[in-house]
Amino acid sequence: MRLKDKVALIVGAGGPMGTAVSTLFAQEGAKVVLAARRKEPLKALVERIKRIGGEASFVAGDALTYEGAQSMVAHAIDWYGRLDILYHNIGDYAFGEKPLAETEESEWRYLINVNLNSAFQPCRFAIPMMKQNGGGVIILVSAATKVRQRANAGYAAAKAGLIGLTLNLAKNLKPFNIRVHCLCPSSIGELKSSERIGLPTPNLNRAGEPEDVAYLALFLCSDEASWLTGLVIDIDGGESLS
């Protein structure tokens, strides 16, 4: 098993991509802590993971708040005694391609908060725990280049901010053996048809699936990738080549 005895905190575990990475990590031996605001999807996912022989627990909270993020990291420490992996999966492709001049201040603030600021508190609390372990892995989920170009300015700015945060953390955390990467998915199969209007035809003869993101995350979090840090990877089926 590629993540045997690792403890992974999945922030934003309720959606399809969060479900895919949580399930795969558990199958590969990780003790998985599922975190999101709503309890019911987390409870169902814990039961699903346990049915396939994995180990999981959940904590409900808001990663944007000091208390919520602290409780997520504390839960991992209290239940499993350590934290090896932080996977930040929170985001919202809200307001589509709305022009900046038509964007309300409240909409801009929402986009920055949910897509960028939501990474601040979880990273803040996870890093000291990883330093105590002698290392760890942080994965931030942004968006592919073409997705950011199509989106509204608030979404694009926030997701680009995650890339900047990744590179800054990767540089500063090298001495502590903490590796940091940014995954940038294109349109994934979880999107509803109404959200796919105007998107290009699938690349590599199919649309992307949540598992495409999960398998790359698995590799980057495994010891096989122990000499890699600071990677920003488009997961887009070759869309960026067009």
Helices (H), 39-144: 39-51, 66-80, 105-115, 120-133
Instruction: Using the structure block, give the residue that is written with the tokens 């349109």.
Output: 187
Structure tokens at 198: 């105007």
**Residue 210 to residue 190: CA distance in whole angstroms:** 7
**Residue 147 to residue 143: CA distance in whole angstroms:** 6
Among the options 80, 87, 93, 155, which is catalytic?
155
Structure tokens at 38: 């709503």
- Residue 53, phi then psi, degrees to nearest 5: 90, 10
Beta bridge partners of 35: 11, 59
Residue 155 annotated to the active site: yes
Largest CA distance in the chain: 51
Q: Which of 15, 38, 42 minimizes the C-alpha distance to 188?
A: 15
Instruction: Using the structure block, give the residue that is written with the tokens 């399809």.
Output: 16
Helix, strand, coil percentages for the chain (3-state, nearest 5): 50, 15, 35
- Residues with a catalytic annotation lie at 155
